[in-house]
Amino acid sequence: MDMANQARIKETAEKYGTDKVVVILGGAEAESAGLTAETVIAGDPTYAGPLTNVALGLPVYHIFELKDLIDPQVYEDQISMMEMVLNVEEIITEMSDIRSQYQDG
Amino acid sequence: MASEVTKGGSLVNFPVIRATAYVLVHAPDILMGHGTTITMERVKNPDSEYLKALPGHLRSFQEAVGYLPNQVYIGNAHPRQLTDHPSPWYQHPVEPRTQGRFGQILDQAEFYGLMKIADSFNLVELSAEFAASIKDKLPTANLSAKHFAQLDRTRDLQEIEEMVVSHQADGLYQDGQLVGCVREAHDTDPNLSAHVVFENLVCKASGVLALVNLLERFQIDPKEIDYIIETSEEAIGDMNQRGGGNLAKAIGEIGNCENASGADIRGFCAGPAHGILSAAALVRAGIFKNVVVLAGGSSAKLGMNSRDHVNKQMPVLEDMIGGYAILISENDGINPVIRTDIVGKHKIGSGSSPQAVIQAIVADPLERNGLKITDVDIFAPELQNPEITVPAGAGDVPLANYKMIGAMAVKRGELDKSELAQFTTSHGMTGFAPTQGHIPSGVPLLGVIREELLQGKIKRAMVIGKGSLFLGRMTDLFDGISLILEPNQGLSHGSELKLEDVKEQVRLILAEAMEQAAESLARR
């Protein structure tokens, strides 16, 4: 997760409180989505950005996981094409794994 | 002049792609000194393991030349050969040929000589011994003799060393040894610092190399060139006009294009596509007959993903500076045409989801002209070499683009979902371009596309340039532009009336009318 986005998430969470912020990802790959999820839950695993050693514990989801919450027409116009392109199942599995890893820990 | 018949039956003279050239420079020492990933690390973690390991991952010139994606870039192999070549490609070299159908691969030492030749302000200093060692190797044709003589103006190595140590100059190293330097052009202006001048001269010199290859390989008289559009990502200017520009004329001067003017067009990675569009418009409007669109490469982007390459025990593959030059000319009845009536653009109001982008750039222009996505035989989107980007977590960029275009075709009912995988190979190519920002964006396939349209192997191609504008922090809009190329319909189809023909016709009609009038008068 790049430095500027880490800084923005940190700032937003501090301003509104970690119980009022949800992070929604649109990443194209399971591995990078997982790393981003890990960063906003447990801190930057690469020890490079503003979230190093900062465990915000934010709820984090990939947009594919929120399909049922989105207006079907908006989803159709904005996201349905990418469902055909990306490995949706792999991304959702990775996201679930990361979340359960930290919930259990 | 040849004409193309549009759907409406009116006659249009479309501009043609007359020539294409592609060049690479192997630059391992420039990577070590100027790649931003490396220079940033040196500031933050000067003792890091990555920095210690990096030199051991650099490639030799021979290794870089024998790397198949580089051979594809200069035209010695077709991009589709990459699909069947055993991977990783860096472990399966091919014959290392420095000359290709479309251009050449230059080594770093010779490139320093070209930087010196391209330097109009005596800012590049080379030691006498080094200058002598490269002088005979450099191409002389189509290079300004006045500038070539720069190589005779050398500097004592000790003086060069002193300038580098006192930070008045950035060193030019060959195999880690100091052989020259680029001096600062001002002592306090950050835009004329040694570092910035170095970057700009790298871009200028590699642009010159592309231009010279274009003119030589296609035997084009430099005097024919009317205008040059430069499309890199560098900002040329001092502190009062950072980005003031005109690298286009600066490059044309060294390439002896004495009748040309020019200007720079910027648009991040989409710069070249915008440049080609503008060139096509200038030719189509009859303002200029021959417009070169070109760009040199970037020293800052060298080794951009080298941390991941080192971590994955790979050679650092981002050691190549890229360049390209395309000649767009008035219709000659032979070369493939740019359909200036089928242009796709990402509008300010288009939205930035991938779906909205593909809709605006790919689907909309085709639909407006009664065409389907499957009517385009080859798409040329961003063509980054996946062997560079996949290990860095950025995925296979061209493949992702082909999947998106195919998925859009499925959504539109133009392709069955089961044909999606096949579509990415039949309408796409494997990526092969160096990750030099503006260089991979559609343009590297123009050489192949031009040839295949000429040979009748394909009927239609789409070139797509995309740009990430957020990088400059002025807007978070996305950008993109697309162009359609088709075979020339040839002079036999042309029925455009030339002025002389029209005059002759009018003369005949008038003569006939006067004859009839005379006869009529005589009868009375």
Render pLDDT for A85-98 as a digit per residue (tens, 0 to 9): 999 999 999 999 99
Q: Are B450 and B17 within 8 A, CB to CB? A: yes
Contacts across the A-B interface (CB distance below 8 Å) = 40
Total Cβ atoms within 10 A of residue B418: 8
Helices B128-135 and B108-117 pack at an angle, to 10 degrees, of 100
Q: Are B241 and B235 within 8 A, CB to CB? A: no
Tell me the shortest Cα–Cα distance from A22 to chain B, in angstroms: 20
**pLDDT tens by residue, B213-253:** 999 999 999 999 999 999 999 999 999 999 999 999 999 99
CA angle B449, B219, B336 (to 5 degrees): 25
Of B355, B400, B408, the CB nearest to A28: B400
Paired strand residues for B329: B16, B290
Q: Are B103 and B22 within 8 A, CB to CB? A: yes
Report d(CA B444, CA A55) in Å as an integer: 45
Report d(CA B290, CA B16) in Å as an integer: 10
- Whether B404 sits inside 8 A of A85 (CB atoms) is yes
- Residue spans of the domains in chain B: they are 16-329, 343-486, 497-523
pLDDT number for residue B500 = 65
Q: Is A28 an interface residue toward B (CB < 8 Å)?
A: yes
Q: Is A29 an interface residue toward B (CB < 8 Å)?
A: yes
> A80 contacts in B (CB within 8 Å)?
355, 411
SS3 B312: coil
Question: B492: Cβ–Cβ under 8 A, 6 or more apart, which residues?
Answer: none
Of A32, A78, A79, the CB nearest to B393: A32
Tell me the shortest Cα–Cα distance from A66 to chain B, in angstroms: 16
CA angle B469, B474, B479 (to 5 degrees): 25
Q: Say if strands B478-486 and B337-345 run parallel, antiparallel, or are unpaired.
A: antiparallel
- Whether A78 sits inside 8 A of B353 (CB atoms) is yes
Paired strand residues for B464: B482
Mutation choice for A interface testing from B353, B417, B470 by most A CBs within 10 A? B353
> B395 contacts in A (CB within 8 Å)?
28-29
Q: Is B244 an interface residue toward A (CB < 8 Å)?
A: no
Average pLDDT over residues A9-31: 94
- Whether A81 sits inside 8 A of B395 (CB atoms) is no
Tell me the shortest Cα–Cα distance from A100 to chain B, in angstroms: 23
Mutation choice for A interface testing from B355, B357, B424 by most A CBs within 10 A? B355
pLDDT number for residue B328 = 98
Is residue B333's pLDDT more than 50?
A: yes
Average pLDDT over residues B383-388: 98
pLDDT number for residue B10 = 47
pTM: 0.89
Cis peptide before B88 (omega within 30 of 0): yes
Of B462, B454, B375, residue with least CA distance to B414? B375
> B355 contacts in A (CB within 8 Å)?
77-82
Structure tokens at B446: 């123009």
Q: Are B112 and B174 within 8 A, CB to CB? A: yes
CATH of B343-486, one of 2.40.160, 3.90.930, 3.40.47, 2.60.40: 3.40.47
pLDDT number for residue B513 = 76
The mean pLDDT of chain B is 93
ipTM rounded to 2 decimals: 0.81
Amino acid at B431: G
Of A28, A29, A78, the CB nearest to B355: A78
- Residue spans of the domains in chain A: they are 3-102
Report d(CA B330, CA B223) in Å as an integer: 16
